[in-house]
Structure formats: structure tokens, C-alpha cells
């Protein structure tokens, strides 16, 4: 394998640039030409390819976003598109592809590999929702972003003895909510994986008020309940000063952390090694502190569960 392409797809995640950098530089060290495809799978369809050299990726470790740009994968589930992509790759004498992205994007990787084009995925999404890997590139930074924001909100909560509902990202999964909630001392954490009972929340707050707790902090994943909705429910049942904050896009950007820079480097090295070795249809992730290869079909189709022991701890520390 002499020439490979790399692309970033789906929601941008901090550390994607670090991954691109490693692929380009390690590729260069191993005499493999690395071509960047522009804006995800769309770059394959539009033949928007650019060769990448070590100097092109200088200074990238610390930068959020992706210099290759990204896009949604809408439409790439059609076989026609996939075949066009492969044709375009082949016409440029590209022998393999590395896809840096999350769940939706890795479905695209799976499709290409099934159609015979050597493709390896690198697990990267702030949502951390790929099965088979404990972490994905971008998750650690996103949670740290959320934590820094919630720490600031806590200053106001404490100063005013005012409760807050903070809505974090996570349509289907509560990974960000769970980690950011525990790390900021949330009294209540609501995630899509665990059904919640409004009565219990109300009771929890009432009991806290009896214990002279000055304020309550609720962290909810957007997929569990929207902050606005929960606010109205609580206001309708309790006489309490409560405010909401929807963290939104500030979770997604920024300079990646140690964890994300390191796993971006390790995932990339492994992806390149495996692709050249002849592997295809696999996702590179980390499991039990080891870099692992996960069949793309499993990574994309199976449901990843949250750590219930982590969830249970919340009740005990919130006293």
C-alpha cells in the first residue's frame, strides 16, 4: 500500500486534527503517501483530494476542529454513492482509507469495506457512543469543557442560593452528562439510559431544602429531557429559584486534552499499521487501556452501555 486517503466525518471533535497529523507524519516516515479528502465522504464523491505533507500538519496537536473539514453523511447509505466513492479513490490510485468519526460516519466506513475497499475507522466523537471502545477521541475534551462551564455556573448558583438545570449534549447517550455531573458534584443527573421519576426529583429537592441545602444542581442529557421542560415541571411544583443553562456547542470545540491527544496519536498509528497490513472493516478504539480493533459492524450496531456503578455513586455523594 503506497497511497491512502484520510477523512474526518460527522460532528467535529477535539483531537481530530491530532489524528490527521499523526497519520500524515507516520505515513511519511513509512513512505506512504497520505491524501486528505475534503469535508468527509463528500470529498470522495467530489474527488476533492489534496496530498498532505508533514509541514502541512504543523501545530495541529493543540487545535480543535478539523483542517480537513467535515460534513454529515446524509445520502452515503445509498450504494450508488458508495460505488462512486470507491471509483474515485481507485482512479487516484488510492489503496486504502482511514475514516475519523463517530457512529454515523463509521457506517460509511463499514459500507466501503463491505464493498471491498480497504477501510479502517478511527473512533472519534464527543458522544463516546461507539460500541467496543471505552473512549472516543474528543469525549474527554468535551466533558472537560462542560466541567469548566458548570464550575462557572456554580459560582452563581452558590452566590444566589439558586438552583440550576444544566443541559449537556447526548441525544441517545448519557456519557457526557454522567461524567460532567459527577465531576461537578451534581445532585441529580438525568440520562436517556435511565428512566427518571419526576416525583423522586421533586422529593430529592424538597429533602435538600429541609437539610438547608442552599442550591441544587441538575445535569441532564438533552436526550433525557430538555432543560426548559424540566424547569417548567419543577416551577409548577416547587417554590424555588431555578435557572437553566444549555451548554450546546461550547462543549465541542477547543484545544484537546492530554487524553484526546494521546489516544488520537495511538489510534492513528494503529489504524495506519493495520490498513497497510491488509486489515479492513475494523474500528480502532481503546478497551481496558489497550488499543484494540473492533469489527465495524459491531461498533456501529451494538449498543454501548453506561457504567451503572458510576451512576449509583451520585446519590451517595449528594448529601
Least distance in angstroms from the C-beta of 22 to its own copies: 6
Catalytic site residue from 12, 56, 74, 127: 127
How far apart CA 47 and CA 63 sit, in angstroms, is 26
Query: Smallest Cα–Cα separation from 16: which of 265, 213, 183, 237?
Result: 265
Q: Please tell me whether residue 188 binds its own copies under the rule CB under 8 A.
A: no
Please report where in the chains the cell 492513528 appears, as a residue. 268
127 is catalytic: yes
Contact with its own copies (CB under 8 A): which of 226, 246, 292, 311? Answer: 246
| String of contacts with its own copies for each residue 22-61, x by CB under 8 A | x--xx-xxx--------x--------------x----x-x
Minimal distance, residue 84 CB to its own copies, in Å: 22
# residues contacting its own copies (CB under 8 A): 79
- x/- mask, its own copies, residues 260-279, rule CB under 8 A, reads -xx--xx--x----------
**How would you class 23 by CB atoms within 10 Å of its CB: exposed for 0-12, middle for 13-18, buried for 19 or more?**
buried
Going residue by residue from 222 to 241, which x/- string records binding to its own copies, judged by CB under 8 A? --------------------
**To the nearest whole angstrom, how small is the minimum distance from the Cβ of residue 89 to its own copies?**
22
Q: Which is nearer to its own copies, 9 or 107 (CB)?
A: 9
Sole residue written with cell 424547569:
231
Distance of closest approach, residue 314 Cβ to its own copies, in angstroms: 9
Q: Between residues 113 and 251, which has the closer beta carbon with respect to its own copies? A: 251
Q: Which is nearer to its own copies, 181 or 281 (CB)?
A: 181
Does 74 bind its own copies (CB under 8 A)? Our answer is no
Written as nine digits, the cell of 7 is 477523512
Mapping DSSP onto H, E and C, the string for the chain reads CCEEEEEECCCCCCCHHHHHHHHHHHHHHCCCEEEEECCCHHHHHCCCEEEECHHHHCCCCCCCCCCCCCCCCCCCCCHHHHHHHHHHHHHCCCCEEEEEECHHHHHHHHHHHHCCCCEEEEEECCCCCCCCCCECECHHHHHHHHHHHHHHHHHHHHHHCCEEEEEECCCCCCHHHHHHHHHCCCCEEECCCCCCCHHHHHHHHHHHHHCCCCCCEEEEECCCCCHHHHHHHHHHHCCCCEEEEECHHHHCCCCCCHHHHHHHHHHHHHHHHHHHHCCCCEEEEEECCEEEEEEHHHHHHCCCCCCHHHHHHHHHHCC
Binding of its own copies at residue 14 (CB under 8 A)? yes
- Candidate ranges 95-103, 105-113, 182-190, 196-204; the one touching its own copies (CB under 8 A): 182-190
Among 31, 74, 91, 155, binds its own copies (CB under 8 A): 155
Q: What would the x/- binding string for its own copies be over residues 159 to 178, using CB under 8 A?
A: xxx--x--------------
Is 86 or 130 the residue whose CB approaches its own copies more closely?
A: 130
Question: Would you count residue 292 as binding its own copies (CB under 8 A)?
Answer: no
Does 73 help bind its own copies (rule: CB under 8 A)?
no
Question: Closest distance between its own copies and the C-beta of residue 209, in Å?
Answer: 14
Minimum distance between the CB of residue 8 and its own copies, rounded to whole angstroms? 8
Active site residues: 127
Amino acid at each position: 500500500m503506497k497511497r491512502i486517503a484520510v477523512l474526518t466525518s460527522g460532528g467535529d471533535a477535539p483531537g481530530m486534527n491530532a489524528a490527521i497529523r499523526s497519520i500524515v507524519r507516520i505515513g511519511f516516515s513509512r513512505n506512504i503517501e497520505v491524501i486528505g479528502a475534503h469535508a468527509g465522504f463528500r470529498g470522495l464523491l467530489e474527488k476533492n483530494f489534496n496530498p498532505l505533507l508533514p509541514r502541512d500538519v504543523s501545530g495541529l496537536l493543540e487545535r480543535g476542529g478539523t483542517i480537513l473539514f467535515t460534513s454529515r453523511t446524509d445520502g452515503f447509505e445509498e450504494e450508488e454513492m458508495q460505488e462512486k466513492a470507491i471509483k474515485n479513490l481507485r482512479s487516484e490510485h488510492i489503496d486504502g482509507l482511514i475514516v475519523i468519526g463517530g457512529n454515523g460516519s463509521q457506517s460509511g466506513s463499514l459500507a466501503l469495506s463491505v464493498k471491498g475497499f480497504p477501510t479502517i475507522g478511527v473512533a472519534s466523537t464527543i458522544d463516546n457512543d461507539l460500541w467496543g471502545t471505552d473512549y472516543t477521541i474528543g469525549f474527554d475534551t468535551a466533558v472537560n469543557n462542560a466541567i469548566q462551564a458548570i464550575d462557572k455556573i456554580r459560582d452563581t448558583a452558590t452566590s444566589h442560593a439558586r438552583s440550576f438545570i444544566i443541559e449537556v449534549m447526548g441525544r441517545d447517550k448519557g456519557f457526557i452528562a454522567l461524567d460532567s455531573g459527577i465531576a461537578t458534584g451534581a445532585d441529580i443527573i438525568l440520562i436517556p439510559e435511565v428512566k427518571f421519576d419526576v416525583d423522586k426529583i421533586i422529593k430529592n429537592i424538597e429533602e435538600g431544602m429541609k437539610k438547608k441545602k442552599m442550591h441544587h444542581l441538575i445535569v441532564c442529557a438533552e436526550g433525557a429531557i430538555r432543560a426548559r421542560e424540566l424547569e417548567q415541571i419543577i416551577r409548577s411544583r416547587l417554590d424555588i429559584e431555578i435557572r437553566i443553562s444549555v451548554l450546546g456547542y461550547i462543549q465541542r470545540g477547543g484545544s484537546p486534552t492530554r487524553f484526546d491527544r494521546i489516544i488520537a496519536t495511538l489510534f492513528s498509528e494503529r489504524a495506519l499499521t493495520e490498513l497497510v497490513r491488509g486489515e479492513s472493516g475494523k474500528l480502532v478504539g481503546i478497551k481496558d487501556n489497550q488499543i484494540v480493533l473492533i469489527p465495524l459492524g459491531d461498533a456501529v450496531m451494538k449498543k454501548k452501555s453506561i457504567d451503572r456503578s458510576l451512576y449509583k455513586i451520585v446519590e451517595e455523594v449528594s448529601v
